[in-house]
Structure 1
Amino acid sequence: MTTGVAPTESAVRAALGKVKDPEIGKPITDIGMVKSVTINDDASVDVGIYLTTSGCPLRTEITQRVEKAVADVAGVGAVRVELDVMDDEQRTELRKKLRGDKAEPVIPFAQPGSLTRVYAVASGKGGVGKSSVTVNLATALAERGLTVGVLDADIYGHSVPRMLGSDAKPTQVERMIMPPMNHGVRFISIGQFTDGNTPVTWRGPMLHRALQQFLADVYWGDLDVLLLDLPPGTGDVAISIAQLIPGAEILVVTTPQQAAAEVAERAGAIALQTRQKILGVVENMSWLELPDGTRMEPFGSGGGEKVAERLTRAVGAPVELLGQVPLETALREGGDAGVPVVLSAPDSPAGSALRAIAAKLAVRKRGLAGMSLGLDTVRHS
């Protein structure tokens, strides 16, 4: 409904400046997506919008955002949005605007000036809930207002897309891959590039190249935190991550069971060889709360604390037990349904424990690990 005030093009464009592209995360006016604005005699407004690709999966969401923003401008009547597609030259300009004009993509998180905190979530063995911890921490951090990404580096056992509840495929703009987002978390996984449940049968060099592409070719935007869901053990992927992002910190996930704790200790101790910092330890499946309020410990107790103590002695610096997450049906159900327990049952024992761990990570400042200080280490006579 119009108010008798004639809308102006400048007011409409100002409103469009508040609309962000859901994939890129920047105002559509800043990245060349606004094709035209026409204000008609009857106060209706026609807006032309460029999509990055003809198959843009978020065209409906973009249209709705534009319609709502323009409709809120004083005096505007009906709003019509016409979609067009960028040509090659426009996509090239977009890529240069976002990534610069470098001949080869670089890994932004490995650059000296990067302020993104990179946490590599590791475990000694499978089945300890490493991916569940990763996805829930990412979602909880996003809920706290941080810009968060998850790289599913578990190439053989990828599960992040299901746990985040999205089967969306990435879109490509020239050499940039745009990661989809769900629950406020941007994510990329090899599962988005395979058909159905097809297994991935790659050797070390292929794994390294895939990780390199996920880190360099994917446009992550200005992330506060990037979590890497590593495969179990201390093999090729863990070594590649240490080479590609030396400043990544290791977050060790274990269960209370002593056998699992011993293997988890090895996964953390790789930091001695790669010269990475250990962020801390998370103990998962710590206990099961019974209806009468008592606790049962099906996997024993003390594993997380022992891992933290042993790693503290091994690296010569404090390694904190960041939290203990109880065994809970809601946690498993959330992973299967694609709604992490920190969202589906935030006040449950598991949800509360994971949110408390995320709160600790959210207030951490980036250190100088992996950053060049520009010091001349050559002795001059």
Structure 2
Amino acid sequence: MVSKEQVMELIKSVEDPILHKSVLVHEVKIKGSHISLKVALSKTGTSEQLEVQQQIVKLLKEAGAETVGLRFDSLSEEEMTSDEAKKVNPGTPPLLSSECQTTFLAIASGKGGVGKSTVSSNLAVALSRLGYKVGLIDADIYGFSIPDMMEIKTRPEIIDNKIIPPERFGVKVMSMAFFSEDNSPVIWRGPMLGKMLNSFFSEVNWGELDFLLLDLPPGTGDIALDVHSMLPSSKEIIVTTPHPTAALVAVRAGKMAQTANHEILGVIENMSYFESKETGKKEYIFGRGGGERIVQELKTDLFGKLPLAQPDEEDPDTARSIYGADHPIGKIYEGIANSVIAKVKKEQFVEVK
């Protein structure tokens, strides 16, 4: 069994990639052949963090650990000198500069369980199928799920000290899932989440993008606030179900975005109904009117209503939560994507039904 002292000695050989000194270990826990570590870096969510992660896991497994749990903290201001802090934050990343032509689309909801991540990933795929260059950030850092939904099997590559995001269905994707070993939970405080999100903008080589979608966590918490402060020109799409409570809290999320001067592009109502394959009858399981209520209160447009269903597993153009281009729901997403494009370009809006 490896002792804590041995672990600390091994980690001394691992350097912080920016400060070029040994990484700081905040916590070590050993239970049988499992070693759990909390390591502080000068900057998290970078290509170098992936290398540090791989290096630590390799060292500990060679020392006898069967499994390794690894979490990353950011070094606090007190743990860095002023010169070191300047190395860590050199300036504004190009993606956030005023010259950037990418349209940012934040996908928000008031509460969890309304299918926001499903909508985010399918909308991104629909925009790609229409010929646009699309990126997708899984900004729901506690509840990351998009790589699984899109069945992304590869992790990001590192080229010239930049993270190259995996691509699926023509969509480039970044997620906290790529920085988590064995589906471990992320246990971070608010400021850490914001730093990770900022790294997704500054440390990833996105190339040229027409649209960058951000799948936000539900509600009006830290990440939503960070997005509103980082992306003053972001546009927002609200996802809800027809249920009155879902609509009520979605309005709250929309009003927060409006307070930050974000444009609410429109609303997508998910799980609007269930349509029987045998009879064709529609059952309104979650009630009716949620989308219309939000549209009325936020003075925006209803992009469309999506039924409760699952992708066709036999269709090679699908993934776990991605509908094929010829699937009836895939066609609804294509119509919604066209409506989003029209709204962004200030063209005449037509509701998709």
Deviations 1:73-120 (A, max 9, x none): xxxxxxxxxxxxxxxxxxxxxxxxxxxxxx936333432222211100
- The match for 1:357 is 336
Deviations 1:34-79 (A, max 9, x none): xxxxxxxxxxxxxxxxxxxxxxxxxxxxxxxxxxxxxxxxxxxxxx
Structure 1 stretches of 5 or more lacking a match? 1-102, 313-318, 368-381
Tell me the SS of whatever aligns to 1:286.
Answer: coil
* CA contact 1:109–1:118 (8 Å) conserved in 2: no
Deviations 1:249-287 (A, max 9, x none): 111000000011101111111123211111110000001
Measure, in 2, the Cα distance between the counterparts of 1:309 and 1:153.
Answer: 28
Is 1:300 aligned to residue 291 of structure 2?
Answer: no
- The match for 1:329 is 310
* CA contact 2:238–2:268 (8 Å) conserved in 1: yes
Measure, in 2, the Cα distance between the counterparts of 1:333 and 1:227.
Answer: 28
Tell me the SS of whatever aligns to 1:310.
Answer: helix
* CA contact 1:110–1:246 (8 Å) conserved in 2: no
For 1:68-87, list aligned pairs within 5 A.
Answer: none
Measure, in 1, the Cα distance between the counterparts of 2:314 and 2:293.
Answer: 29
For 1:25-44, list aligned pairs within 5 A.
Answer: none
Match of 1:146 among 125, 132, 155: 132
- The match for 2:171 is 185
Match of 1:284 among 270, 274, 295: 270
Structure 2 stretches of 5 or more lacking a match? 1-88, 347-353
Once the two structures are TM-superposed, the CA of residue 243 in structure 1 deviates from its matched residue by 1.1
Match of 1:342 among 310, 317, 323: 323
Deviations 1:187-244 (A, max 9, x none): 1001001111100000111001000000111111110000000000000000101111
Identity %: 42
Aligned-partner residue type, residue 304 of structure 1:
G
Task: Specify whether residues 304 and 350 from structure 1 end up closer, same or farther in structure 2 by C-alpha distance, changes over 3 A only.
Answer: same
Task: Specify whether residues 332 and 273 from structure 1 end up closer, same or farther in structure 2 by C-alpha distance, changes over 3 A only.
Answer: farther
CA radius of gyration, larger in? 1
Task: Compute the RMSD of aligned alpha carbons.
Answer: 2.6
For 1:196-275, list aligned pairs within 5 A.
Answer: 196-275=182-261
- The match for 2:117 is 131
Deviating runs (4+, > 6 A) in structure 1? 331-334
Aligned-partner residue type, residue 321 of structure 1:
L
Once the two structures are TM-superposed, the CA of residue 340 in structure 1 deviates from its matched residue by 4.5
- The match for 2:26 is none
- The match for 1:170 is 156
For normalisation by structure 2, the TM-score amounts to 0.69
Aligned-partner residue type, residue 257 of structure 1:
H
Measure, in 2, the Cα distance between the counterparts of 1:207 and 1:187.
Answer: 18
Once the two structures are TM-superposed, the CA of residue 168 in structure 1 deviates from its matched residue by 1.3
Deviations 1:9-45 (A, max 9, x none): xxxxxxxxxxxxxxxxxxxxxxxxxxxxxxxxxxxxx
Measure, in 2, the Cα distance between the counterparts of 1:332 and 1:248.
Answer: 35
* CA contact 2:110–2:253 (8 Å) conserved in 1: yes
For normalisation by structure 1, the TM-score amounts to 0.64
Matched residue pairs, number?
Answer: 260
